[in-house]
Structure 1
Amino acid sequence: MSALHKNNVTKLQSSYVSALEQKEKKAGKRRRIVMVRFTFLSVLLMALSAAFLYVLHSQSVNIEAKMRDQRKLEQRLESLEKQQKRLEEEIKKLHDDDYIAELARKKYFLSKQGEIIFTVPEK
């Protein structure tokens, strides 16, 4: 029913009313500008946050991979150090004539004069 009635009220054309209308228009424009700025800044902040999180995630994945590689290399270093110690001991033993003679008997079945070698099969 209110749609059928026309508004018969006329606006006053005074300086106060025109100043108030201009003030309302400026306030509306300011609100729109503030909303546009807020929207732009929030989108920019979200984009920066996404980029930051992506970089953070990729760096953590790289760090984990490097740590795994480091553990593998440390294990390999440990085994190589053990092998080096064993080989150094072998070198020291090879300077001993008795050890060389014993080694020749075991590996190459060499014997002393009058000595007979029997090989026993391993289980």
Structure 2
Amino acid sequence: MEQKKRKSSATIASIETEYVRSLQKKASRKHARKIRLYRRLTVFAVVAAIILVGMTQMYMKQKQVLEAKELEKMEKTAQLEEVQQEQEALNRQLIKLDDDDYIAKLARKDYFLSENNEIIFSIPENKKKTDKKDNGKE
């Protein structure tokens, strides 16, 4: 049955009038516009995909840089705290150095200076460490 329809449509002649030609031109222009639209949309989609990929890569790099900066900030904060503690200790020692009794005690300890009628005995440091270990075991 399909073969009969094909044969009959092949035997039908088309009307060659000005109206039919104008309709065919309109249809061909419409088809050409549709093809150009699809091409433009395809180009737009490719450009959008490229931009999206580029922005995603840039975001990932910035995220890595930010994480590195945060880690560096934490390290620097820890160093700052250590330096502040050291500064506080130095300030306390500076306050102590204003005391004459403390200075005399340091001089006797570090430089083996003595007061009148005082005898200084020097004990080796290795001996002190072993004595402390022995006392801890008992």
TM-score normalized by the length of structure 2: 0.77
> Which of 105, 113, 116 is equivalent to 2:116?
113
Greater helix proportion: 2
Bigger RCO (CA 8 Å, 6+ sep): 1
| Counterpart amino acid of residue 89 in structure 2 | R
Alignment identity in percent?
A: 31
Q: For residue 72 of structure 1, report the CA deviation from its aligned partner.
A: 1.2
The answer to whether 1:75 aligns with 2:78 is yes
Per mean C-alpha deviation after superposition, the further-off stretch among 107-116 and 69-78 is 107-116
The answer to whether 1:50 aligns with 2:53 is yes
User: Using the alignment, how far apart are the partners of 1:88 and 1:70 within structure 2?
Assistant: 26
The answer to whether 1:35 aligns with 2:43 is no
The answer to whether 1:122 aligns with 2:128 is yes
The answer to whether 1:104 aligns with 2:110 is no
Q: Stretches of 4+ moved more than 6 A in 1?
A: none
Task: Please tell me the root mean square deviation across aligned C-alpha atoms, in Å.
Answer: 1.8
Q: Give the paired residue count.
A: 119
Give ranges in structure 2 of 5+ residues lacking alignment.
Answer: 130-138
